[in-house]
Amino acid sequence: MGVERKEKKGVSRRTFLASTLAGIAVGGVAGFSVSKLVSPPTPTLPPDIQNIIKERNLQPQHVEAALKTYVPGAQPDEFLMFSSGGHSGQVMVIGVPSMRIYKVIAVFTPEPWQGYGYGDVKTMELLQKASNGMRFLTLGDTHHPEISRTNAEYDGEWLFIGDKLNARKAAISLKDFETKDIIKLPNTQTQHGGACTTPNTEYVACGSQFPAPWEPGRGYKPGKTYIKLTEDNFREYFRGTVTFTRFDRARGKFDLANSFQIEIPPYMQDLEIVGWGPSDGWTFLNSINTELAIGGVLEGKPPLEIAASQKDFDYLHIINWKKAEQVVRQGKAKEINGIKVISLETAIKEGILFFAPEPKSPHGCDITPSGRYVVIGGKLEPLVTIYDVEKIKRAIADQRFQGEDPYGVPILRFEDVKAAQIEVGLGPLHDEFDNLGHGYVSCFISNEVVKYSLGPPDYTGDKPFQVVDRIPIHYNVGHICTTESNSPSPKGRYLVALNKWSVDRFQPPTGPLLPQNFQLIDITGEKMRILYDMPIGLGEPHYAKMISVNKVKPLEVYPVGTDPATFQKHPKYIEGKLGVERKQENGKWVSEVWMTVVRSTITPDIVRVKQGDLVRLYITNIETTKDATHGFGVAEYNVQASIEPGETTTVEFVADHPGVFCFYCVEFCSPLHLEMAGWLEVEPAE
């Protein structure tokens, strides 16, 4: 293809596999007896291996896939993939190429194994803080994870994830793979932009999905804002948002006081990406329903999906976020519900917000490694549309607009900003990139992943913007993920297709609700090859990010007495202090208990309190051995915590029912695990 960037040569795992697989390919399932005729000699597999191949009716490509994906115990995978869990509300950590699930990180949903949301104060406070004032939220719809960046490259320190259903964002430390902060986005009901960091993780940005009712000058407050749903009111009083949430790395917290938000028209916004290189300072998100339809089937109106797909074009939103930051600093934003908001009028006047036409009902919004191109999937068109950021900036500078939308947002001319359109297949959605100048797009309807060439400087060959290869998948692929894509330095090698349906891929079936199917694809050769089908029975994922495993450097144990919420000494950790202290706080009785857990003793093992007491346990795992985790559960009280080596945690509950209740270590830790127990005595109130 004439690509300048080449992969390094040398003796590698791939070279070794190639030589081994030569013998398999020649011998096939016929006992590999002809391998002796090959020059140079190829390995002859032992009879028992040959028998396994024959008995299982394996073909050479099956054996090749097994060798390419097998990672022996105690050896690392090459990459870690962080996948959203969809409406499971969690994040999955998956090794690639082994496709093993290493952990499910609790985020928006209580999760008992990790003691998340079952009395552990740090987790209860997170869930409470991020609730909306209407309900204590115990579910979320995780979409579109992001990894923290330094100079636009993934640095492996933090992971961010969005909650589409409740317009929230979470920050997860990759020191211990635990959630450290959750924030509810003001003035926003749902979000689909996920979490996109600016090049040095100054902000975590995301756009809304469905517009929310806005009271003029007061924005949107859950359970408070009511505006009757009519077509006229929808146009006038509903709005979307793009939120840039400041992130304090040192504290591991979002900083709402130094964040800002941009009011945008009430279209349905889609995915978002923040740029680097030529696109540094800009963010892009696409949209659907520029028709401003609201549905109304029972009122004789067309269904929303039909009414929202009438126009030939919707709008790519183009936002100068650095100029927006300046406008906020100049005092041209108004604080609404705890965040500084740039009004739609100000965003237009100050040259912050622009539109470009994009084929109707698009999906996906991604930036190539050079930062030069923004790539959009057609969804209802069989096309990938590629925008040139340099052309966009020139067109804005030259004021080359075709007109304005109904809200006064200037619209660039399509031909002035387009780099290319590539016909790829039916239902193109999401694009990812490799290190050799290629893009990959998922095609939902035609059930395939299509590989195509980009343009310069990403691709320097003589056939830019052309389809190169395609591979069928199984089935209905949504998102795809390549290694460190949507960054300046993707690594190539693998692509994972996050398929929505599995149908017949996993036997025997598991009832009507089937798992999703993650398919691992080798993208190193001229032709893509499927290596692995992985059932995902934990939710319906929406996008994933993959990073080189050596960039992630987690702790093995905490220093004894550490509060994982801050990575500092827990304020209630006092070395050697044990026992119960009962006191009054604000007119209520509180029983504070200092406890330790170590194989195989809980101290104290009898805790006596009175009915109605607020029981506050400060539990320290004094183990310093890797993997020596202890759990703590109280029978009948729905209380459970996980205490990792060195951790001090606070468990809190009201002893509102009298009786004697067992507590014990719920994590099997030693031969005397069953004896690692004690008693909570709740004396009846007088």
> Are the CB atoms for 283 and 272 separated by under 8 Å?
yes
Any domain includes 57: no
Any domain includes 407: no
Buried b (16+ CB within 10 A) or exposed e, 81-112: bbbbbbbbbbbbbbbbbbbeeebbbbbbbbbb
> Are the CB atoms for 91 and 105 separated by under 8 Å?
yes
Predicted pLDDT at 463: 96
DSSP class of residue 217 equals T
How far, in Å, CA of 594 to CA of 620, rounded?
Answer: 8
Which residue(s) pair with 589 in the sheet? 584
> Are the CB atoms for 432 and 416 separated by under 8 Å?
no
Nearest to residue 284, comparing CAs of 211, 359, 375? Answer: 375
In the numeric block, which tokens belong to residue 631? 């759990």
Any domain includes 570: yes
Predicted pLDDT at 41: 66
| E strand or H helix that includes residue 432 | strand 428-433
The boundaries of the domain holding residue 607 are 562-683
**CATH number, domain with residue 619:** 2.60.40.420
495 φ, ψ (degrees, to nearest 5): -135, 135
pLDDT along the chain (686 residues), means of 10: 41 46 46 45 83 95 96 98 98 99 98 97 96 95 98 99 98 99 98 94 98 97 98 98 98 98 98 98 98 97 95 98 99 98 99 98 96 97 98 99 98 98 98 98 98 98 97 98 98 98 94 97 98 97 98 98 98 96 96 98 98 99 98 99 99 99 97 98 96
Predicted pLDDT at 40: 64
The CA-CA-CA angle for residues 495, 549, 115, to 5°, reads 100
Any domain includes 85: no
Conformation bin of residue 289: beta by default, left when phi > 0, alpha when psi is -120 to 50 = left
Peptide bond into 452 cis (omega under 30): no
Specify burial of residue 635 (Cβ count, 10 A radius: 0-12, 13-18, 19+): middle
How far, in Å, CA of 446 to CA of 425, rounded?
Answer: 6
Any domain includes 574: yes
Nearest to residue 635, comparing CAs of 616, 614, 662? Answer: 662
Any domain includes 91: no
> Are the CB atoms for 368 and 454 separated by under 8 Å?
yes
Any domain includes 94: no
- Number of domains making up the chain: 1
> Are the CB atoms for 242 and 205 separated by under 8 Å?
yes
Any domain includes 604: yes
- Match 């170590």 to its residue by tokens: 598
How far, in Å, CA of 324 to CA of 333, rounded?
Answer: 9
